[in-house]
Amino acid sequence: MPVDLDYLAPSDVEDAVALRASRPSAAFLLGGTDLLPQMRSGRRSPETLIDLKRIAELHEIRENADGGLSIGAAVPLADVETHPLVLARFPLLAECAKTVGAWPLRQRATLAGNVCNASPAADTAVALLALDAVVNVASTTGRLAMAVSELFLGPGQTALMPGDLVTEVVLPGSAAGFRGSYQRLSRRKGMDLATVGVLVGKRDGARPSWRVALAAVAPTPLRVRAAEELLEAKGATAAREAAELAVAACRPITDLRGSAEYRREMVGVLVRRGVESLG
Amino acid sequence: MSAPVVGTDVPRVDGLEKVTGAAKYTADLKFPRLLHVAVVRSPHPHARVLDVKTEKAARMPGVRALASGRDFPLHTGIYLKDQTVFATDRVRFVGDPVAAVAAETPELAAEAAAQVHVEYEPLPPIFDVEEGFAEGAPLVHPDLGSYEVVPWIRPKAGTNVCNHLKIRKGDYAAALKGSWKVFENVFRVPQVQHVPMEPHVSVARVDLAGKVEVHSSAQSPFTVRHLLAHCFGLPHGDVRVHVPYVGGGFGGKAGINLEPIAVALAMRCRGRWVRLMVDRHEEFFATVVRQGLTATLVTGVDRHGKVQAQKMHYLWNCGGYGGYGVNIVRSAGYTCGGAYEFPNVEGDSIGVYTNRPVGSAYRGFGMQEIHWALEQQMDRVAVELGIDPAEFRLKNCLGAGKSTVTGQVLDEHAGRVDLCIRNVAKAIGFDADRERTPYRGKGIACAVKAPAMPNDAASSVIMKFAEDATLEILISGIDYGQGLMTVVAQFASEALDLPVEKIRVKGCPDTDLSPYDWQTVASRQTWATGNAVFRAASEIRGKLCATAAEALDVPAEELTLREGCVVHEATGRSLPFERLVMGYQFPDGHAIGGPVAAASSYLPEGLLFLDPETSQSAKPVAKWTFGAQAVEISVDPETGQVTVEKVAACYDVGKVVNPALIKGQTYGGIVQGLGTGTMEELVVDTKTGRATNASLMDYKIPSTEDVPAEMVVDFVETAQKDGPMGARGIGEHTMIPTPAAIANALWDACGVRISEMPVTAEKVWRALKAKERAERGEGVAGEAPVPAGTIA
Amino acid sequence: MKKTITLEVNGVAESAEVEVGQTLLRFLRDGLDLTGTKEGCNEGECGSCMVLLDGRPVNSCLVLAVEADGRTVTTVEGLSKEGVLHPLQKAFLSQAAVQCGFCTPGMVVSAAALLRENPTPTEDDVRKALAGNLCRCTGYKQIVDAVRDAAAAMRAGAEAGSDAGKPAEREEVPA
């Protein structure tokens, strides 16, 4: 860590945004579970850390008029995965959040942090993508909302501009009620990055809706709308076909955790299983 | 005699320190004005070192000492002196230390280290052991022939072979020719790392009188002292080594590690304490690892399923240096028959230098690696012959009257592997006619090991009393988790009939004050230090009784020890130890005796060198511990994921000294075995020589969620003739057979064999796919290669 | 850059000047000589550095000391009170859940946090809660047994009305 590293802890969003604007080499700090290791490895070298955790509004989980939820940027994953409204309306988010790291890590790691870090293997990003989440962003030009589906550009890259501050992640009421599974293959059952992550969700109704989203098998978390549309048209009996569409959509690489070939096959297996279990 | 203490769950005597956070490990110790070290390490796997420029670094702020190869050109190494403190003319692996800086803060040290300029001339690197062994391979140690080496290690000058042990028993060629069936298979084991929870750390000071003092996370304080004295040309008495609590060693902290660099720097800033800590990243590739192995086995059996001819060809991937690794090559060689009697044997255990991280002692000392090969081989033979794998093992295993590959004939005290096999087979339900469920399987594997140590490796003990008759026992065996301090207390308690609460084991040694111990390795401490404890206790008993006899005016032979008193049974008179341990004072004032203390040692008896050409020896090792494990697994056929549902383990330990502690050793060994068996491998990029997964994020060891749902452990007690109360060793054995048992269970579950550790989901998946294709007539069954760069 | 922080550590008010880049882990170990908490990996993977921050179990190697300004920290040293062991510490001893001891402080702290939140954990709950604490020695079985044992002892103690091992209130994150 650099000896001249500076640290500021503003108490409101506008201050934080202004501070960041005046310090181009600053970085926002939430849980620090990605940022600190990245600073140690030299991957990132901010000269100032702007800690957002003293900003009260970022700690709230609010119910919105449309039945959705706004989750403040500083809310740790451990609180997200146990929140009654998350469990009731967006259980898939809790399912995914529970797989991140281990319990103590989730006392610090945040949804906003996961999103901004933009790892292709980000388990929570998969859920946010599937649930049509939106991030609210504050910047020097004011506040705006950005769909998570527009957010991820590549490994570690988002559409956010330098200085943008994610204030909350919003789950729309229209995405409430999806149930299903997040299946994950990793080298061990304990804390590990996903080799392959597959979310399959279904919302019952006159015309059931489906969600299929993948982690760790493309440069970004991936939603497979073609598979969703197929399932909406044909139901769970189209499990194999849907799985094939997911396989066709993914672009995995070979790395320490698995080969591209294995990952591709596993996408097919897990999507099929995920759909069949909801049939 | 009061109730026995040995054989009971005496709570760890060092437990209170550990649960409260009071226990001090090396990095917890505070030193005034401590200097911090940054090491300049080779970025090349193989290169000549042309020049090392340290002038700029020397002028950096806060720098107090600098050292590099030319300052300390002496070779060091416990068995083969092939390494210098810093690389001098050549670097041999990525991470090889070239220079080091000590500065006022870690940041200043790192900045200065970055200003050391090293000029390298890269040389062609070797990573593959077959490549290193091949004729005409680039030489990693061109001067191999000039290195000092102990007489029982045989490097081959002009090659990359740092040791070659040959076993020649009976007439292998003839026996092979006469075999009914012959099986030949190749097995591979990659390098893995110990991953102790406490990374290596050493602190050193050379004072203004030139005396060296070291605090180190080490398994062997006296070996550290010995090698430092040799390396720096100092009398042993001027080198002092302390070992505080150690957070796991597993062999990686045996011998000598960071100490020479710390001392070298300390010599350059006399009076200052210098601390070298490696971070977790460096721990993976810049300390030591377990050697890799490529093993070719040939087995010839007769019609009755008895092995008649056995050939083992081991190529050990030793990495850049083999100072310690050469002994693994040797001991694995003379144990190559495992738990079996092979009447005709041709064994070649060959250590090969490559430009990978340094292979050294790791729990098992080659045993897990060779058992991976041997136990799968035995299984394959059994399956091919249609013999139940447990029955096949019982048919071929060692026992009283049978001879090992070195021609040693075992007697009835040797330990009962047959009972261990039967025990685990029963515990796992390994009946030949068991009900079969698709993709569930059971596998069995045996284990054996003897301590791999010099024939004169000794342990000693000092016992003394405090005024309140607390017995203090000084040992230099290190309790880094296995429970040695507690075992010592139990033995002493039993020997002197003194409650454990009245005993204090001083187990953080200081070579100035503590008694000599060769090393804490080889599963030898319970046995060696244990024996020394009984000898010292016997002396203590003699002294107490001699004084008491005079005090009570009775013959000493009529006295016994009971509950902290010396008792004369005939008359009921007694004297508590408190009245004797500082001498005894008569009513008229005159005193006899004096402070009661004893020192004793234990050195293995009758160990004989192996014949240099055949390795035949009637008693090459002190003791064998046999055991077996059986596992039950389930396989997800679509993903290849293997779940180890249940493990049964049984070892003939001679005497269970502390059931709770020995169970802990066994559970821990099983889980470490599960780790190396299913998820661990140190991946080295063969373009750069760098370890690509040198972090806990990328190198996974088992967590709480990876443990088998059920672990059943049991023990046989066939007394070791020369063991303390019959005990032999167990520390390493508990992880030896686990991977092979899993591989054998995998075959049982779904008919695929993985011959290269670790057994990962992707490997299983590929093997199942290949099997399917073969069954459809589309290809050859067997393993399909996995792309380079993956462990999976 | 240096900042002054004020925090409560194991019930004692502490004030110190720290470098911004210094982790809470290093501050505890070097600044306050509370060496019970260990440095095993410095990347949040091994759990040896576990402490409670406002009652939450956190990897102190991933927390900067400045972030703990105004907060409460509990380390392993704070679990025993004047020589009286926490039920978890007692259980770790009685269940032989300690070998080399390096992971033990982190384990006990994580387990203490678990039992505060869930006084009746199943074996699965314990395994999940401790999945971020690595141990190379024990194979975890006796550790899991110890945690469940301690949970039972604490329930029995609470039922009997004793204060021993009574879970302290977790402080909410200040708004």
Q: Look up the ipTM and state it.
A: 0.96
B351 is written with which tokens?
Answer: 């250590």
Position B95: which residue type? Answer: G
Q: Which of B22, B30, B672 has its CB closest to that of C136? A: B672
Alpha carbon of C105: minimum distance to chain A alpha carbons (Å): 14
d(CA A44, nearest CA chain C) in Å: 14
**How close is the nearest chain A Cα to the Cα of C129, in Å?**
6
Q: What is the dihedral of CA A100, A106, A108, A113, to 10 degrees?
A: 30
Question: Would the CB atoms of C175 and A59 count as touching at under 8 Å?
Answer: yes
Q: By the CB < 8 Å criterion, does B303 face chain C?
A: no
Residue C167: band (very low, low, confident or very high) from pLDDT cuts 50, 70, 90: very low
Q: Choose, out of C34, C43, C136, the residue to mutate when testing the contact with B (most B CBs < 10 Å).
A: C136
Q: Which two tokens stand for residue B117?
A: 């300029």
Distance from CA of C52 to the nearest CA of A (A): 9
Task: Lowest mean pLDDT of B103-107, B441-445, C163-167, name the range.
Answer: C163-167
CA distance B187 to B365: 17
Give the β-pairing of B503-506 and B274-277: unpaired
pLDDT band at residue A2 using 50, 70 and 90 as cut-offs: confident
**Cα nearest neighbour of B281 on chain A:** A41
Alpha helices, H only, B6-105? 15-20, 55-58
Preferred mutation among B704, B710, B711, B734 to probe C, highest tally of C CBs within 10 A: B704
Give the pLDDT confidence of B127-140 residue by residue, as tens digits.
999 999 999 999 99
Query: Does residue B17 carry a catalytic annotation?
Result: no
Q: Is the pLDDT of residue C165 over 90?
A: no
Helix, strand and coil in chain C, % to nearest 5 = 40, 20, 45
Is C22 close to A1, i.e. CB distance below 8 A? yes
CA distances from B323 to A217, B83, B138, B313 (A): 44, 7, 20, 21
CB pair distance less than 8 Å for A190 and B697? no
Q: Rounded to an integer, what distance in angstroms lies between the CA atom of residue B313 and that of residue B319?
A: 18
Cα R_g (chain C), whole angstroms: 16
Q: Is there a contact between B627 and B420 (Cβ–Cβ < 8 Å)? A: yes
Q: Please list, in sequence order, all residues whose beta carbon lies within 8 angstroms of the beta carbon of residue A195, skipping any fewer than 6 positions away.
A: A184, A185, A186, A187, A216, A257, A258, A262, A263, A266, B792
Would the pLDDT of B113 be above 90? yes
Q: Which residues contact A121 (CB under 8 A, 6 or more apart)?
A: A193, A194, A197, A215, A216
Superfamily of domain B31-123+202-276: Aldehyde oxidase/xanthine dehydrogenase, a/b hammerhead (3.90.1170.50)
Q: What confidence tier does C39 reach under pLDDT thresholds 50, 70, 90?
A: very high
Q: Is B664–C94 a contact, with Cβ atoms under 8 angstroms apart?
A: no
Q: What is the pLDDT of residue B788?
A: 52
pLDDT score of B778 more than 90? no
Alpha helices per DSSP H over B252-311:
259-267, 280-286
- C130 in Cβ contact with B707 (< 8 Å): no
Chain B residues touching C34 at Cβ < 8 A: 21
- The pLDDT, as a whole number, for residue B74 is 79
Instruction: Return d(Cα B370, Cα B354) in angstroms, integer.
Output: 20
Taken in order B288, B368, B743, B424, is the CA torsion positive or negative? Answer: negative
Domain ranges of chain A: 6-51, 57-174, 178-276
Tell me which residues of chain B, numbers 238 to 277, contact chain C at a CB-CB cutoff of 8 Å. 245-248, 250
Nearest to C131 among B20, B661, B705 (CB): B705
Put simply, the answer to whether C41 touches B280 (Cβ < 8 Å) is yes
**A257 at the B interface (CB within 8 A)?**
yes
pLDDT of residue B18: 98
Residues of C in contact with B23 (CB under 8 A): 101
Report d(CA B673, CA B60) in Å as an integer: 47
Taking residues A68-83, what's their average pLDDT?
A: 98
Q: At A1, is the pLDDT very low, low, confident or very high (cuts 50, 70, 90)?
A: confident
Model pLDDT for residues A53-66, shown as the tens digit of each residue: 999 999 999 999 99
**pLDDT tens-digit series, residues C5-20:** 999 999 999 999 999 9
Q: Does domain B15-22+457-602 have CATH number 3.30.365.10?
A: yes
Distances (CA, A) of A6 to A9, B165, B666, B749, C84: 10, 60, 49, 58, 41
Across the interface, whether the CB atoms of B792 and A259 are under 8 A apart is answered yes
Q: What percent of chain B has pLDDT over 70?
A: 98
CA distance B671 to B372: 16
Q: Mean per-residue pLDDT for B744-758?
A: 97
Question: What phi and psi, each to the nearest 5 degrees, are found at residue B361?
Answer: -60, 135
> What is the structure's pLDDT at C172?
38
Q: Provide the pLDDT for residue A190.
A: 81
Q: Choose the CATH number for A6-51 among 3.30.43.10, 3.30.60.50, 3.30.565.10, 2.60.120.10.
A: 3.30.43.10
Q: Kindly list the partner chains of chain C, i.e. chains with 3 or more CB atom pairs below 8 Å.
A: A, B
CATH code linked to domain C2-77: 3.10.20.30
Residue (of B550, B592, B552, B585) closest to B568 by Cα position: B552
Q: Give every CB contact of residue C58 below 8 A, 6+ residues apart in sequence.
A: A104, A107, A108, C50, C51, C52
Angle ∠(A129,A132,A135) on CA atoms, nearest 5: 85
Confidence of residue B785 (pLDDT cuts 50, 70, 90): low
C87-159 sits in which CATH class?
mainly alpha
The verdict on a CB contact (< 8 Å) between B703 and A191 is yes
Cα(C44)–Cα(B695) distance, integer angstroms: 11
Q: B198, C141: Cβ pair inside 8 Å? A: no
DSSP state of C50: E
Asked if residue B560 lies in contact with residue B533, where contact means CB atoms within 8 angstroms, the answer is no
pLDDT reading at B280 higher than 90? yes
For chain A, what is the total number of helices (H) and then of strands (E)? 10, 14
B253 in Cβ contact with B196 (< 8 Å)? yes
Given the residues B732, B772, B775, B778, the one annotated as active site: B732
CB-based contact B646:B741 (threshold 8 Å): no
d(Cα A176, Cα A133) in Å, to the nearest integer?
11
**pLDDT tens for each residue of C69-109:** 999 999 999 999 998 999 999 999 999 999 999 999 999 99
Residue C150 to residue C128: CA distance in whole angstroms: 17
Inter-chain CB proximity A256 and B706 less than 8 Å: no
Mean pLDDT computed over B233-261 = 97
Which residue is closest to A273 within chain B, CA to CA?
B638
Do the beta carbons of residue B600 and residue B460 sit within 8 Å? yes
Which residues does C156 contact at the CB level (< 8 Å), separation at least 6?
none
Distance CA A51, CA A31 (A): 9
Helices B659-678 + B738-750 axis angle, to 10? 60
End-to-end CA distance of chain B: 58
Residue of chain C whose Cα is closest to the Cα of B710: C141
Report CB contact under 8 Å: A108, C22.
no
Name the residue facing A190 among B705, B760, B762 (closest C-beta).
Answer: B705
**Alpha-carbon distances of B738 from B434, B451, B715, B753, rounded to whole Å:** 22, 20, 17, 15
Identify whether B587 is preceded by a cis peptide bond (ω within 30 of 0).
no
pLDDT of amino acid A191: 83
Inter-chain CB pairs, A–B, below 8 Å:
63
Please give the pLDDT value at position B525.
Answer: 97
Question: Which of chain A's residues have a Cβ under 8 Å away from the Cβ of B693?
Answer: 256
Cross-strand bridge partners of residue B299 = B183, B310
Indicate yes or no: CB of A191 within 8 angstroms of CB of C132: yes
Strands in B440-449's sheet, in edge-to-edge order, are B440-449, B625-635, B642-652, B710-716
Mean confidence (pLDDT) of chain B? 96
| Inter-chain residue contact A254 with B789, CB threshold 8 Å | yes
Contacts of C143 (CB under 8 A, 6+ apart): B704, C92, C95, C97, C107, C130, C135
Q: Is A63 helix (H, G, I), strand (E, B) or coil?
A: strand
User: Quick one: pLDDT at residue C92?
Assistant: 98
Say what the pLDDT of residue C166 is: 47
B34 contact C CB<8A: no
Helix (H) / strand (E) containing C129: helix C123-129
Q: Which chain C residues have a beta carbon less than 8 Å from that of B670?
A: 139
Assessment of whether the complete model's pTM goes beyond 0.90: yes
CB neighbours of B497 closer than 8 A, spacing ≥ 6? B1, B2, B561, B562, B563, B564
- Residue B250 to residue C134, Cβ atoms within 8 A: no
Name the nearest CA neighbour of B536 among B509, B503, B568.
B503
CATH fold, domain A178-276, is Enolase-like; domain 1 (3.30.390)
Question: Which residue of chain B is at minimal alpha-carbon distance from C94?
Answer: B11
pLDDT at A11: 97
Predicted confidence band at A124 (pLDDT cuts at 50, 70, 90)? very high
Assess A13–B contact: CB distance below 8 Å, yes or no: no
Residue B186, CB half-sphere, CA atoms under 13 Å: how many? 7
- Please compute the mean of the pLDDT values over residues C117-142 and round it to a whole number: 98
Given a cut of 50, whether residue B671 has pLDDT beyond it is yes
pLDDT in tens, B213-227: 999 999 999 999 999
Task: Look at the alpha carbons of B643, B646, B651, B653 in this order and tell me if their dihedral is positive or negative.
Answer: positive
- DSSP letter at B273 equals -
Of B107, B761, B790, the CB nearest to A185: B761
Which residues, in sequence order, are bridge partners of residue A179?
A202
Tell whether the model's pLDDT for residue B773 goes beyond 80.
yes
- For the domain spanning A57-174, the CATH number is 3.30.465.10
Question: SS3 for B519?
Answer: coil
**CB contacts, 8 Å: B707 with chain A:** none
Pairwise CA distance, residues A253 & B789, whole Å? 11
* B503 vs C173, more confident: B503
Residue partners of C79: CB distance under 8 A and separation at least 6 = B20, C85, C86, C88, C89, C108, C109, C112
Q: Identify whether the C-beta of residue B305 lies closer than 8 Å to the C-beta of residue B340.
A: no
The residue extents of the domains of chain C are 2-77, 87-159
Average pLDDT along chain A:
96
Reported as a single tens digit per residue, the pLDDT across B1-24 is 578 999 999 999 999 999 999 999
Query: What's the pLDDT tens digit per position in B573-593?
Result: 999 999 999 999 999 999 999
Sign of CA dihedral B383, B387, B391, B395: negative
Domain B292-453+608-775 of CATH type 3.30.365.10: yes
Which residues in chain B are closer than 8 Å to C137, comparing Cβ atoms? 197, 248, 481, 664, 668
